[in-house]
Amino acid sequence: MQQVTVLGSTGTIGQQTLDVIARHPDKFSVFALAANNKVELMLRQCLNVRPKYAVLLDETAARQLADQLKHHSVHTQVLHGMQALEQISSDAEVHVVMAAIVGAAGLRPAIAAAKAGKKILLANKETLVMAGRLFMQAVADGGATLLPIDSEHNAIFQVMPSQRHLHLADGGVRKIILTASGGPFRRLSRADLAEVTPERALKHPNWVMGAKITIDSATLMNKGLEVIEAHWLFNASPDQIEVIVHPQSVIHSMVEYVDGSVLAQLGNPDMRTPIAYAMGYPERIESGVASLSLIDIAKLEFETPDMQRFPCLRLAYEALKAGGTAPAVLNAVNEVAVATFLRHEIGFLDIPAMIESALEHIPAEPVDSIEQLISQDAEARRFALEWIQSKHLANKVVRC
């Protein structure tokens, strides 16, 4: 029986992970659940799976959860804060850690799991985007097993050579191809993109995801972050990572070999497939996902991404090539920009404009420590808030 910690249990990935676990009560048991502050949903999850620990980052929310669990006579121990996240990720009883906390908050517990040698199912993009070198070194030093959960990276992992190589060429690989749905606005002109509202951007044509990742998909930043992740996961240079738009989201990604072969992983757009693959690895287990019908789909389309209309993808490539702390700056400013856009305080095209300005003004530095990255993350967020304030001030002057 494998004991599982689910970081980000109240999010989309976390809930789907619990769905897969429930299908295999003979294989998995929930050791701990963790989230930010969703008390009611966490309460329902605790009543359902009875974990040993439940962690909420927010202290007030944690107290509320503890009171409600006590009322229901549930003996789950409630903790709060970052140290508690690291504790449930590295506990000796834990075998598997689903790292699905969104944002920079997921970095420290993922590294704690790596150092403790856990089987890590990595759904948190920021861990590799912010701290790719440090995290991969922690995985190697701790003897951890790393399995990507992003559908694209999971697909690449599945069709890579069975024997892992230090360099792609040693395994006969020419390049990896990440597919992107293109989001809901791939046909819009730049003028039309300027009028996009958060409500429209949250309506993804294929996937059911959280708000932040859905907006990232609409700007193509999600794909840009995946390019950076792919660099670290597969030791691929930027020139070995190609992005193509595939609106049907049936081919999740591909690997091209030097002999001309292109291997792809196909499936319905349901995150339970990569979750089940990683949970059961190296075996295959039932996921609950419906069988793929290529007859019903009828056709598969492919396009080149337009980096003029969607500059976030270009900016991610540039940050990867700049190296050092540049990806951490990109990530931090994007988080602020997306949150601000969702509050209707900036426009859709302000997101890449803010990120580009930050990359121009904040010099990239070599990465030495997690503390340095957290400091750079904070500096980038301050820059983003100042950028927003200056834009609002400029808009007031124009209206006057």
The model's pTM is: 0.91
pLDDT at residue 394 greater than cutoff 70: no
- pLDDT one-digit tens code per residue, 174-187: 999 999 998 889 89
- Determine contact, residues 307/313, Cβ cutoff 8 Å: yes
Q: What is the C-alpha to C-alpha distance for residues 376 and 126, in angstroms, rounded to an integer?
A: 14
User: 208 falls in which pLDDT band (50, 70, 90)?
Assistant: low
For residue 265, give the nearest of 180, 149, 152, 123 by alpha carbon: 152
**Residues recorded for the chain:** 400
SS3 for 109? helix
Class of domain 323-399: mainly alpha
Mean pLDDT of 278-283: 95
pLDDT in tens, 245-260: 999 989 999 999 999 9
Segment 48-76, tens digit of pLDDT: 999 999 999 999 999 999 999 999 999 99
Inform me whether the pLDDT recorded for 199 exceeds 70.
yes
Classify domain 2-149 by CATH number.
3.40.50.720
- Cα gap 160→285, rounded to integer Å: 20
C-alpha–C-alpha distance, residues 102 and 94, integer Å: 21
| Residue 234 confidence (pLDDT) above 80 | yes
Domain range annotation of the chain: 2-149, 155-297, 323-399
Structure tokens at 122: 């990595």
pLDDT tens per residue, range 300-341: 999 999 999 999 999 999 999 999 999 999 999 999 999 999
Residue with tokens 């949903």: 41
Q: Average the pLDDT over 270-286 and give the result.
A: 95
Q: State the pLDDT at residue 400.
A: 47
149 sits in the region (left: phi over 0; alpha: psi -120 to 50; else beta) called alpha
Q: What number is the average pLDDT over the span 367-373?
A: 90
Q: What is the pLDDT of residues 93-142, one digit of tens each?
A: 999 999 999 877 899 999 999 999 999 999 998 899 999 999 999 999 99
C-alpha to C-alpha distance for 279 and 266, rounded to whole angstroms: 19
Measuring CA to CA, which residue among 384, 192, 218 is closest to residue 392? Answer: 384
**Which pair of structure tokens corresponds to residue 384?**
């983003």
- Asked if the domains at 2-149 and 323-399 fall in one CATH topology, the answer is no
